[in-house]
Amino acid sequence: MERLPLQPAWALLAAFLLASSATGADEAPSKNKQQPAPPCTLSGTWVNDLGSRMVISAANAAGVFSGSYLTAVSSANQAIAESALQGAQHDPAQDAQPTFAFTVRWAFSDSATAFVGQCFVDQHGEETLETLWLLRQNVPSRSEDWKATRVGKNVFTRVK
C-alpha cells in the first residue's frame, strides 16, 4: 500500500487557508445577513401613547438638546399650549441605545415635568423611547406637598 508522506506544519496551514478562502469563509457578510441597526437618535418628532407630540433638536457635542412639547392632556384648568423642553442624552456613537433625561416647564401652568428614559432600536430600525416621568404641581403650602407629585410612564414612537 502506498503511504502519503508527512507534510510540514506550514504546508498544512497553507492548505487550510486556501480551502477556507475557496469556501468564502472570510468573505464580507452578504446583503441578506442581518446587520446591526443604526444607533437610536433622539432628534426628530415623536408621539406618545397619550397622543402628546414633541420635537427634539440635534444634540450638541455634550449631548445637550432642546425642543418643544405639545401635551394631549393636562391637569390644569388652562388652555394647553406648546411648551419648551431641555435635556441631555448619552452619546449614541458610544452606546447605540442611549439613556436620556429632559424637563418640560409648562408654558400654560405652574407645573414642571421631568422625564427619564432610554432610546431603543429594533432589528428593523424602529425606534421607541421608553420613559418614566414625575409631574410636579404647585401647591400653596408645605402641608400639601404630599399630593403635589404624580408619576407615570410614556412610550414614544417616531413620527419623522
Which residues contribute to the site for ligand BTN (CB under 6 A)? 48, 50, 52, 71, 73-76, 106, 109, 111, 113, 133, 135, 152, 154
Closest separation in Å from C-beta 29 to ligand BTN: 41
CB neighbours of 65 closer than 8 A, spacing ≥ 6? 42, 43, 56, 57, 58, 59, 86, 87, 88, 89, 102
Closest separation in Å from C-beta 113 to ligand BTN: 4
Closest separation in Å from C-beta 74 to ligand BTN: 4
Pairing of strands 127-136, 83-89: unpaired
Q: Which is nearer to ligand BTN, 65 or 115 (CB)?
A: 115
Helix/strand/coil for 118? strand
Whole-angstrom distance between the N-terminal and C-terminal Cα of the chain? 75
Q: Which residue is nearest to ligand BTN (CB)?
A: 52
Would you give the distance in Å from CA 101 to the centre of its chain?
11
Nearest in space to 133 (alpha carbons), one of 149, 117, 114: 114
Q: Which is nearer to ligand BTN, 53 or 96 (CB)?
A: 53
Q: Which is nearer to ligand BTN, 12 or 148 (CB)?
A: 148
Q: Which is nearer to ligand BTN, 37 or 114 (CB)?
A: 114
Closest separation in Å from C-beta 89 to ligand BTN: 19
